[in-house]
Structure 1
Amino acid sequence: MPDSIAIFWDFTQLHETLLTAANNGNPYRVTPTIDQPEVVDINCLLSYADEVGRVVLNRLYADWRPFSSYAEVLGEAPVELIQLFPNNMGQTSVSRQLTADVTAHLQSADRADTVVIIGGGSEYRQLRQIVREQGVKLVGIGVESVTDAFWIESCDDFKFYDQLGCARLYTGPLDDVSLDSERARALLTAAMSQLVRYYGTEWIQQVRIKPAIIRQDPDFDEGLIGYEAFSHFLRDQSDLLERRHREGEQEPEYRLIDGPTEAASPADRVRNSEHLATYYLRVAGQQGIRMPDPVIMWEGIDVYASFLADNITFHSFSEIDQECLRLLREDFPTLSMTEVKKVRQVLFKCFLFRPSVDDTIGFHEEIKDLADIEDRYFELMLARIGNNLDEPLDYTALSLALTGNPDQADRLEALDTEEE
């Protein structure tokens, strides 16, 4: 019988390293708000895995929002997609989740004989000891010339992407798929216009400008376009901005030379709401709320409402998670337990559950139906997000952040007004 293999893909890193290699070694970083081209030859890598052994686990990790170009090939592939969102610093830590999942797999009764890491780098070197302690072989797959040498040496065997016969599917210009100067200037102009309208003054303190840009594009980084500091970026936009630094003031101020831009088009407002939704989720993360995907959260609330309607009690939160995962996987077959636990942890902060009675977990008596659960959820998020913003809430964006759909905006506004 061929060896059994478990495959773990750091998909973002593989995509980035292929584009880095294509860019003569200049580091490339995925920006979640910019759609990415199809770069990775997924079918080639899947074929190689089938030749090596019997695949018992095949899991890909990324923030999948910019990777819609891979939808067709991944939709037909026998793989599990793990969605990871950026933290409050705007960074998506694939390595931590992937390493934890490898460790958990190695401790399972049906662990594989070989673990394959696709797209890894130096941050995975600790896996060498973890895997070898279990008597399991470690194989790496990466891109020649840009993969960390220490990681290559850490593996029992290492294969280079090109040597497997895999193609580099994208050969177009990188300017189309990354932050460039023109896009950065457009973000700056839009941010300044918003700040002028909000504060009612044309002169805006420097400290307020970058947060306004990040609310549009959470992954904005002036370093991607060659600036060591945001202040350097601002100073270089002398055709857009006028600068002054009044005596006694710590921060300089800027104003648009041509004044604020006209009102945004409907399409722009939709895009702004989507960017704001991402920003609101980052604010929630800063306040200790680790959110799953908004659609999963909203569907998860329906599942908990079904527990309530059927008067079901559980003996442990683990039992709740297992049943919730079973029901949600009817609609989301690749859903991970991590996302399900996040649903429960958010609802726990909503004070839905009563203290244990007869070693069981149930709902507080005042929680009667689905609307009560939704209201508790909305009230929690209005407090954690709304109370930590300088600007008024955009309820359409908040609805997108909490449910994946803008249709709860009026309800959120009504609840917020009641609280005031």
Structure 2
Amino acid sequence: MSDSSRVAVYLDFDNMVISRYDNLHGNNSWRNDNARDHRPGSGDATDVRLAEAMLDVGAIIDYASSFGTVALNRAYADWSVPANAAYRTQLVDRAVDLVQLFATSGTKNGADIRLSIDAINDLVDHADLTHVVIVGGDSDYIALAQRCRRMGRFVVGIGVTGSTSRALVAACDEFSDYGDLPGVRAVVPTTKVAVKKAAAADAPVETAAAEAGPAKKTAPAKKAARKATAAATKAPTAAEAATALLLRAIRVGMEKSDDEWLHSSSVKSQMQRMDSTFKEKSLGFSSFKAFVESQGDLLELQSKDNGQLMLRLR
């Protein structure tokens, strides 16, 4: 990656949120669960499913930053929808430019058309943009990818398995599955397990419950919802956040390099592209070397003859 590389990120947010949800919970689950209008905090099974399928916006932007400085960062969606509004903290923390698109017919909001027009206009107005990252697997973006390449830009695509057009993959210079991005945690859906356990526990009193009227939400389902929501929203300490940033930067670097060892200087540069507030001194370390040395249980370090510090994950 050249220091002069500048990246524009275009995120079809509705497409990614729905695709991720259906990928984890089964085709058409988003529609069947009416997840679009579900309000978080109700403690039901849909709460659990939404928490499990929540996108890691930071992982997407951090991956994009491995190609260069992220100069433009836009997300397109109907932000009045509760499921999208739940991402407020993630989006604000990463300074994402939000483009509001109300549904014009049914659930269609024309994001693909608006996104494509904006992307081409940006490339015309900003000749310094070298990379375009299209986040969304819709086949409607094939023409955009082809046009960007004809304009001399390197096109990167990010989509969700099962919801990505093969033709779009072919139209990009590079394509990655969202689930394979560095830092995205593997998820094993727990909703079905919780529902089955709840059903088994309630079976002996099914008749009595019917006579008593509508049943309340089962304790196992509520517990699973609270646990999943808490895990998604828990704020890490400064030290935990710095360690997570370090590990993600290393994984991003390893994705872009065939070398087993990475230069500590390149890792620090990647960390600062991902989070410009990172300063090892604010964590109590005199140097970046001291910071990585404190992570000895996670990293292996190696000093070269020229004094350069190399590192890799254990």
TM-score norm. by structure 2 comes to 0.51
1:142 deviates by 0.9
**Contact 1:138–1:156 (Cα < 8 Å) also in 2:** yes
> In structure 2, which of residues 142, 166, 183 is the aligned counterpart of residue 149 of structure 1?
166
> What CA RMSD, in Å, does the superposition of the two structures yield over aligned residues?
2.3
Q: Which runs of 5+ in 2 are unaligned?
A: 41-49, 193-314
**CA distance, structure 2, for counterparts of residue 97 and residue 53 of structure 1:** 25
Structure 2 partner of 1:62: 77
Structure 1 partner of 2:6: 4
**CA distance, structure 2, for counterparts of residue 6 and residue 63 of structure 1:** 21
User: Which amino acid in 2 is paired with 1:73?
Assistant: Q
Q: How does 1:14-413 map to 2 (within 5 A)?
A: 14-26=16-28, 28-29=30-31, 32-35=36-39, 37-38=50-51, 39-65=54-80, 66=82, 67-165=84-182, 166-167=184-185, 171=189, 173=191
**CA distance, structure 2, for counterparts of residue 16 and residue 170 of structure 1:** 17
Structure 1 partner of 2:290: none
Q: Which runs of 5+ in 1 are unaligned?
A: 175-420
**Contact 1:41–1:169 (Cα < 8 Å) also in 2:** no
Q: Which is richer in strand? A: 2
Deviations along 1:120-163, whole A, 9 cap, x unmatched? 31111111331122111111001123311111111111011121
User: Which amino acid in 2 is paired with 1:34?
Assistant: H
Q: 3-state SS of the aligned residue for 2:86? A: helix
**Contact 2:7–2:65 (Cα < 8 Å) also in 1:** no
Deviations along 1:45-95, whole A, 9 cap, x unmatched? 222122221111000011112222211121211210111001144421110
**Contact 1:41–1:168 (Cα < 8 Å) also in 2:** no
**Contact 1:115–1:139 (Cα < 8 Å) also in 2:** yes
**CA distance, structure 1, for counterparts of residue 96 and residue 134 of structure 2:** 14
Deviations along 1:362-410, whole A, 9 cap, x unmatched? xxxxxxxxxxxxxxxxxxxxxxxxxxxxxxxxxxxxxxxxxxxxxxxxx
Q: 3-state SS of the aligned residue for 1:146? A: coil
Query: Structure 1 residues 88, 46: closer, same or farther in 2, change over 3 A?
Result: closer
User: Which amino acid in 1 is paired with 2:22?
Assistant: T
Identity of aligned residues (%): 29
Structure whose alpha-carbon radius of gyration is higher? 1
**Contact 2:146–2:172 (Cα < 8 Å) also in 1:** no
Say which structure, 1 or 2, has more relative contact order (CA 8 Å, 6+ apart): 2
Alignment: residue pair count: 174
Query: Structure 1 residues 32, 160: closer, same or farther in 2, change over 3 A?
Result: closer
